[in-house]
């Protein structure tokens, strides 16, 4: 039996589109302001570890997620939300969690930097490719008037321009970049909290009705992401510290980016907003739990 979930408009009107795009761009700018050019040099020093993480994050996880949406009979909005989350790069919080787990923090930072750059191309590609294979998600995108070509172009520019500006500021105007990063870090968090609260309040009936479904899906989806990150490192025989970094990086997607995109590009579609918000809450909890387990029970055996 097909599960029904109404398509909801959470917070959107044509006049607010530019405001939402600015919020999204400011988030990307904030991420870029915390990236050094030296973070990219680790690709040369640790190519196997970084490539394994990127493959799991941008190829395997989206493919597995796309396959799940085709196999499971889920509401189209939830399927779109899952695909969007799986297409996102890792978030900066993964660096903190990796540090807590006694993993390779330098590798985690470098993976985040490289993934944020690769996401300019891979995020819109993965989302449109896997969403385009599912008739239900295609129908929903048409119902909310989302053009695949326009979405790709919009995401490319909203991601590429602020990322480029942020990298230039961080590496040529470091003092200014540091101050701006602090401002954008907190302002973007406030904006996202406002969006999430609006999403829940205006869709509280849907939220309560499908709490268990969304909760279970997020737990399973996040568990799959963590497992894929672990397997990527294990299959390539990475060290324990490096494998901790890949596991956490792949398992902690940038759900804040997903939430911002839902509001700026998808008219605040209810199911997408709710599953993105759930993921953003849960992956912090799961990350902390993983860090405790890794720190205590998964240590390098010295010869």
Question: Mean pLDDT across the chain, nearest whole number?
Answer: 81
Distance CA 243, CA 111 (A): 12
8 A C-beta contact, residue 89 and residue 119: yes
Q: For the domain that residue 158 is a member of, what is the CATH number?
A: 1.20.1530.20
Is 30 part of any domain? Answer: no
Q: Is the pLDDT of residue 10 over 90?
A: no
Residue 92's nearest CA partner among 264, 256, 242, 301 is 256
Distance CA 112, CA 116 (A): 6
The predicted model gives 155-176 an average pLDDT of 82
Q: What are 288's two structure tokens? A: 């902390």
Is 29 part of any domain? Answer: no
Is 4 part of any domain? Answer: no
Q: Which residue has the higher pLDDT, 35 or 283?
A: 283
Q: Which residue has the higher pLDDT, 299 or 101?
A: 101
Q: Is the pLDDT of residue 82 over 90?
A: yes
Residue-wise pLDDT for 140-164, tens only, equals: 888 777 777 777 887 777 778 888 8
The predicted model gives 48-57 an average pLDDT of 90
Range of the domain at 115: 44-295
Distance CA 286, CA 248 (A): 10
Is 276 part of any domain? Answer: yes
Is 166 part of any domain? Answer: yes
Backbone angles phi, psi at 152, to 5 degrees: -60, -45
Count Cβ neighbours within 10 Å for each residue of 127-161 and write b for 16 or more, e otherwise: bbbbbeebebbbebbeebebebeebbebbeebbee
Please count the structural domains in the chain: 1
The predicted model gives 64-68 an average pLDDT of 94
pLDDT of residue 277: 80
Is 33 part of any domain? Answer: no
Is 205 part of any domain? Answer: yes
The predicted model gives 39-47 an average pLDDT of 74
């Amino acid at each position: 039996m097909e599960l029904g979930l109404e398509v909801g408009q959470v917070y959107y009107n044509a006049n607010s589109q530019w405001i939402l795009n600015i919020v999204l761009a400011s988030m990307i700018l904030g991420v870029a302001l915390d990236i050094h050019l030296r973070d990219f040099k680790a690709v040369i020093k640790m190519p196997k570890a970084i490539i394994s993480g990127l493959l799991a994050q941008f190829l395997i996880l989206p493919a597995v997620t796309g396959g799940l949406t085709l196999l499971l009979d889920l509401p189209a909005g939830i399927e779109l939300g899952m695909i969007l989350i799986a297409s996102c790069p890792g978030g900066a919080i993964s660096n903190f969690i990796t540090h807590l787990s006694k993993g390779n923090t330098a590798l985690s930072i470098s993976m985040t930097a490289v993934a944020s750059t690769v996401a300019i191309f891979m995020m819109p590609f993965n989302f449109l490719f896997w969403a385009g294979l599912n008739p239900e998600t295609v129908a929903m995108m048409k119902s909310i008037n989302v053009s695949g070509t326009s979405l790709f172009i919009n995401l490319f520019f909203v991601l590429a321009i602020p990322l480029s500006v942020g990298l230039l500021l961080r590496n040529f105007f470091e003092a200014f970049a540091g101050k701006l990063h602090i401002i954008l870090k907190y302002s973007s968090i406030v904006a996202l909290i406002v969006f999430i609260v609006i999403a829940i309040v205006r869709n509280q009936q849907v939220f309560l009705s499908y709490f268990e479904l969304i909760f279970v899906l997020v737990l399973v989806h996040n568990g799959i992401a963590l497992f894929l990150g672990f397997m990527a490192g294990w299959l390539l025989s990475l060290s324990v510290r490096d494998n901790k970094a890949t596991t956490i990086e792949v398992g902690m997607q940038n759900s804040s980016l997903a939430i911002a995109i839902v509001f700026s590009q998808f008219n605040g579609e209810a199911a997408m907003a709710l599953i993105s918000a759930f993921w953003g809450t849960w992956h912090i909890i799961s990350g902390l739990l993983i860090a405790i387990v890794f720190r205590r029970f998964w240590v390098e055996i010295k010869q």
